[in-house]
Amino acid sequence: MKHKIIFFSVILCLVSFSAFSQSTEGYKLVWQDNFDGNSLDTTSWNNRVMKPGTVNNELQRYTDGKNVEVKDGKLIIEARHENNEYTSGRINTKGKREFTYGIVKMRAKLPAGVGTWPALWMLGADVKEVGWPACGELDIMEHVGKQPGFIHSSIHNPSGYGATPYTGIVEIKNPYTQFHIYSMEWTKDFITFYVDGKKIYHYQPEQKNIKNWPFDKPFYLIFNIAIGGNMGGSKVDNKCFPTDMVVDWVKVYQK
């Protein structure tokens, strides 16, 4: 999600095409949030406040929890257009829930509308020390409303970032009205992304170095809806607001 330019060299496939499935055999559940109760669990999550344009030329202002709700066992992040501004929510687990390797899964419904840019992703916890893209970025799910139904899963590192060369794209049905499972298996050797248990993209450099593998350290989770920006596009359909991303649960497994 950070500092992207919208050019893609990608693998495009249909979910029904891949015969691979993801298994948690050999792993154990180490953390989960089922979003029970009536408020965000602040022992695990932070609300990130940001001004418009802070990253990626995005248009929204991230509020201090006003666009984030926990209700009926679901996390709801809502993007709005009101009082001549776009507002949205961005939460992360920085400093509270950080992980090195494992399987990460989320079950979510996505917001619809041209100009929306929701993401479920991870960022290297040392981002303040080394900067981006040296910290590394793992985009488990990104979607842009101008390309309805297409899910992007991407790797960002110093060897490939602005042009997003390490990307898989899959078209799925009903991402806005039905829940889908977006997941990633991350080991010391490889990173593989899945949608509904089907393999979308696999990353495994033959020879690892600091430029292609900043993925041997803690990362934290980020959930957000951006509006516009480098990937979301310059056109925004204001008729789609309010629109929300609903997350049923997030789970992390490790060996």
Residue 25 known to be catalytic: no
**Catalytic entry in 137, 171, 185, 206:** 137
Neighbours of 64 (CB within 10 A): 10
Alpha-carbon distance values, 220 to 49, 95, 164, 244 (Å) = 17, 8, 21, 22
Q: In whole angstroms, what is the distance from residue 235 CA to residue 138 CA?
A: 26
Q: Which two tokens stand for residue 77?
A: 């992040």
Per the residue annotation, which of 25, 142, 185, 206 is the catalytic one? 142
What are the DSSP calls for 124-142, one per residue?
ETTHHHH-TTTT-EEEEEE
Distance, in Å, from the CA atom of 77 to the CA atom of 65, rounded to the nearest integer, reads 9
Q: Is 142 a catalytic residue?
A: yes
Report the alpha-carbon distance of residue 99 to residue 191 in Å, rounded. Answer: 14
Q: Which two tokens stand for residue 31?
A: 């953390």
Positions of E strands within the chain:
10-14, 28-33, 46-47, 61-62, 68-71, 74-82, 85-88, 90-92, 98-99, 102-109, 116-124, 137-142, 150-156, 166-171, 180-186, 191-195, 198-203, 219-227, 243-254
Catalytic site positions: 137, 142
